[in-house]
Amino acid sequence: MQFGSVAFFKMLIKIVLAIVFFIPLVLCIVFAVLLWNKSAEVTEIRQDNERLEYYAAILSGEREPTVKGFYDVYARSGLTDEELVDYVLHGKDSGDVLAIATTPAGSEPINTPTEDATAEQTASSEPTAQAAPEEPESPYTALYPDMTVTPPAEDEYVRELGTVYLTFDDGPSENTYSILSYLDQYNIKATFFVVPNRTEGCYEKLRAIAQAGHTIGVHSASHVYNEIYSSVEAYLEDFHEAWDIIYDATGIKTELFRFPGGSVNDFNTATRDHIIQEMTRRGFRYFDWNVDSNDAGGANWTDMYNSIPEDIAENYRSFVLMHDSASTPNTVLVLGDVLQVLVNEGYKFDKINNDTLPVQFTGPFT
Ligand SMILES: [Zn+2]
């Protein structure tokens, strides 16, 4: 190719075009990756802050704990009182989401990704090598070997702002069809953590819940705290019975559950960690709640009409504990009216899906 020839100019134009298009493209990709990392970091910090706010509000008496054994949860969180005081004094009042960042990440966003990348590489090779041999060590692999499911990957979970997840525990009951009819009226999908039995009446209601498009999760077969929390084996036996009934009735192998009494209660202090570890090994995800309708505690129509929307307004997203049970008739009485209020206020509703990020008493809370 001669200098100044047609071929030379063609090549020159190609090179110039390449530079004009490729450099901005590469820059765009680099910045997109940086932004992505940053927003994940900010979400994490915001979640930490919400958790701290929750602890602080309860410890200072501003808010009633909705969790039995709250002080136990707090003790297990590993937070020191100093950290919380520091948060209340500096993080919360300044309104600065980044104030309580565990690492001072906000300072040099341009330089950190390269460090992060190398750190991740060295870190990622080790845990996989360590995690793999841990699995066969579970002493419970011989029990119900088919009772395993595949959870989403860590980054596939969804956490949507302003979504309300209505949950009904302890059903099916004589109130199930009324609850379904209110949900249908407002075109709302919800979640039923059931206590099923092997009667045709129960099977029919389970099918009605599933056919209406709601989520069915396991609650328990017996709901007898003393028995199910006496050992991991006892818990698995009870869980399997409920899980299997749901499958028989609907063909659904549910991946989601709620512990009777919530994940932290006065009956599972000794077995809680082992049960959670085993259920997690099997891929199941449990959901606690961050709004308690208190219907099981005897709340009347007025209590619930006032408290449910108020409590929902405090959360990033809400998991509302209600009951589908003959012993909580007020739930059905107030349900339609509460739904009307929430719909008017513009909330989105959803059932808990397999990729919904759980809310758990030991965090994340919202
Ligand atoms: Zn229950």
Which residues neighbour 112 within 8 Å (Cβ) at sequence distance 6 or greater?
A: 105
* Residue 20 lies inside a defined structural domain of this protein: yes
pLDDT in tens, 280-334: 999 999 999 999 999 999 999 999 999 999 999 999 999 999 999 999 999 999 9
322 alpha carbon to ligand 1 midpoint, in Å?
9
**Amino acid identity, residue 108?**
E
Reply yes or no on whether the pLDDT at 99 is more than 80.
no
What is the pairing mode between strands 348-349 and 163-169? parallel
The SS3 assignment for 84 reads: helix
What's the total number of domains in the chain?
A: 2
223 alpha carbon to ligand 1 midpoint, in Å?
7
Residues 90 and 173 in one domain: no
222 alpha carbon to ligand 1 midpoint, in Å?
10
Report residue 122's pLDDT band, with 50, 70 and 90 as the boundaries: very low
Residues 176 and 85 in one domain: no
* Distance of alpha carbon 237 from alpha carbon 241, whole angstroms: 6
* Residue 223 lies inside a defined structural domain of this protein: yes
Residues 203 and 309 in one domain: yes
Report residue 135's pLDDT band, with 50, 70 and 90 as the boundaries: low
pLDDT at 68: 59
What residue numbers bound the domain in which 60 lies?
6-100
Reply yes or no on whether the pLDDT at 210 is more than 50.
yes
133 alpha carbon to ligand 1 midpoint, in Å?
36
CATH code of the domain in which 230 resides:
3.20.20.370
Tokens 């009324």 sit on residue: 178
* CA triple 242-244-245, angle to 5 deg: 65
22 alpha carbon to ligand 1 midpoint, in Å?
59
Residues 90 and 174 in one domain: no
* Residue 105 lies inside a defined structural domain of this protein: no
Tokens 């961050």 sit on residue: 290
Listed residues 100, 134, 151: the one ending a domain: 100
107 alpha carbon to ligand 1 midpoint, in Å?
47
CA atoms within 13 A on the CB side of 204: 7
- The CA–CA distances, whole Å, from 184 to 181, 227, 343 equal 5, 36, 13
Residues 210 and 290 in one domain: yes
260 alpha carbon to ligand 1 midpoint, in Å?
5
130 alpha carbon to ligand 1 midpoint, in Å?
37
pLDDT in tens, 214-268: 999 999 999 999 999 999 999 999 999 999 999 999 999 999 999 999 999 999 9
Residues 80 and 166 in one domain: no
The pTM of this model reads: 0.75
Listed residues 100, 125, 149: the one ending a domain: 100
* Residue 148 lies inside a defined structural domain of this protein: no
176 alpha carbon to ligand 1 midpoint, in Å?
15
Sign of CA dihedral 307, 310, 315, 319: positive
217 alpha carbon to ligand 1 midpoint, in Å?
12
Residues 168 and 91 in one domain: no
